[in-house]
């Protein structure tokens, strides 16, 4: 990796930690200089604008969060168990970029603000919905998930519950909301989603 | 109401619409002047700081949101029906202050930022948890809700699911996540919470 590429990656990673905690508007050039140890020219030699850097930082933080949520799944062959593990990963594994879920942060931060960041957050949500829908579709194809399961609705239920629980847990300084939602979704999946489950 | 009190209230209301959409860091003095039609001196004659104004604006937006969520409940005597109506109100009634749920916005905005705003958001969450727990306790006392229902866990499940669904719906530009969560919570309450329900 060339020194320039390496510096660029390092700036993106350090900016991700800053933007994810402070938000786009809350992160000043001063903050970026402090976080990276570089002068303005040293930063903007690599990026055309703060907006471009923020978009790359969001993508970095999001990829990191998605990776954290997909660990420990290789050994699981049953698609219902994989879905449950995915939920538990969200609850128990913290991504390495600090500051909570980048999607939640960027969605709220850019809600009525920066349209480029909002588009990135919207695309991340769509990718996440599609990923969960594909996991559910695999389970239906393998006859492990009930055929009548509405993939989009179940994906949205999981995403909404987990994201809301993370917000409550962070504000509450207690993991309870995350654990409640984990247990609730696991129960629901066993009862209503797993083929051959009770009821 | 004196002219001073009236002006103060008007500034709080206009600032609430601004802060709830743009966030604390994203709302500049220029933005506040534009939103209120006042000069700096005209605003800060009534408030000691931007922080004080933001805290009062949050409280105004939060009271407005709470009021919207409690409408149409007077005629309902059954406590399970009241809980379900509360959930539907969250899904279908938009508060008059624009920009989404002030708790979600302020919690994310002040997460690693302004500690005074974070404390206000934390207190609002605690009040909301207590309000739902009291509704559930009333239902247990009236023998309409099952005695073994964990009040705190059910309150957190409702709050987390609704707040997450609102975030997804706003980003998705679709109400689907809210409707999915409404139907899911209604089903869950009928099945697991209402005394004498199925199972």
Query: No. of H helices and E strands in chain A?
Result: 9, 0
SS3 of A145, please? strand
Residue A98 within any structural domain of the chain: yes
CATH of the domain at B147: 1.10.357.10
Residue B173 within any structural domain of the chain: yes
Contact B184 A157 (CB under 8 A): yes
Contact A167 B161 (CB under 8 A): no
Phi then psi dihedrals of residue A145, to 5 deg: -115, 140
Of B4, B17, B105, B26, the closest CA to residue A108 belongs to B105
Number of domains in chain B: 1
The one-character DSSP state at B194 is: B
Cβ atoms within 10 Å of B72's Cβ, excluding its own: 12
This prediction's pTM:
0.95
Residue A13 within any structural domain of the chain: no
Which pair of structure tokens corresponds to residue A119?
Answer: 């588009």
State how far residue B139 is from chain A, nearest Cα, in angstroms.
Answer: 21
Q: For residue range B142-198, list pLDDT tens digits in order.
A: 999 999 999 999 999 999 999 999 999 999 999 999 999 999 999 999 999 999 877
Contact B161 A170 (CB under 8 A): no
Q: Which of A25, A164, A170 sits opposite B162 (nearest CB)?
A: A164
Residue B137 within any structural domain of the chain: yes
Q: For residue range B86-108, list pLDDT tens digits in order.
A: 999 999 998 899 999 999 999 98
Question: Please, which pLDDT band fits residue A118 given cuts at 50, 70 and 90?
Answer: very high
Top-confidence residue, B149 or A113: B149
**Tokens 């629980």, residue located:** A165
Residue A32 within any structural domain of the chain: no
Chosen for mutation from A35, A136, A177, A198 (greatest number of chain B CBs closer than 10 Å) is A177
Q: Give the CA distances from residue A195 to residues A81, A144, B66, B97, in Å, rounded to whole numbers and listed in that order.
A: 12, 5, 40, 45
pLDDT value, residue A199: 55
pLDDT > 90 fraction of chain B, expressed in percent and rounded:
84
This model of the complex carries an ipTM of 0.94
| A56, pLDDT greater than 90 | yes
Contact B165 A164 (CB under 8 A): yes
Mean pLDDT estimate for chain A: 94
Residue A26 within any structural domain of the chain: no
Contact A23 B21 (CB under 8 A): no
Q: Domain of A105?
A: 50-193
The one-character DSSP state at B23 is: -
Residue A43 within any structural domain of the chain: no
Residue A3 within any structural domain of the chain: no
Residue A89 CA from chain centroid, whole number: 11
């Amino acid at each position: 990796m060339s020194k320039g590429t390496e510096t660029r990656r390092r700036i993106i990673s350090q900016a991700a930690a800053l933007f994810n905690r402070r938000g786009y508007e809350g992160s000043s050039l001063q903050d970026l200089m402090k976080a990276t140890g570089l002068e303005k020219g040293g930063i903007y030699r690599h990026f055309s604008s703060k907006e471009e850097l923020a978009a790359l930082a969001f993508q970095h933080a999001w990829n990191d969060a998605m990776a954290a949520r997909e660990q420990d799944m290789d050994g699981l062959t049953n698609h219902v168990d994989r879905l449950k593990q995915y939920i538990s990963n969200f609850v128990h594994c913290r991504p390495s970029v600090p500051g909570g879920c980048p999607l939640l942060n960027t969605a709220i931060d850019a809600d009525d603000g920066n349209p480029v960041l909002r588009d990135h957050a919207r695309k991340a949500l769509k990718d996440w919905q599609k990923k969960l829908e594909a996991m559910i579709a695999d389970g239906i194809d393998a006859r492990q998930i009930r055929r009548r399961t509405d993939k989009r609705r179940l994906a949205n239920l999981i995403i909404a519950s987990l994201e809301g629980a993370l917000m409550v847990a962070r504000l509450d300084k207690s993991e309870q909301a995350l654990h409640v939602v984990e247990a609730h979704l696991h129960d629901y999946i066993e009862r209503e989603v797993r083929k051959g489950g009770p009821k």
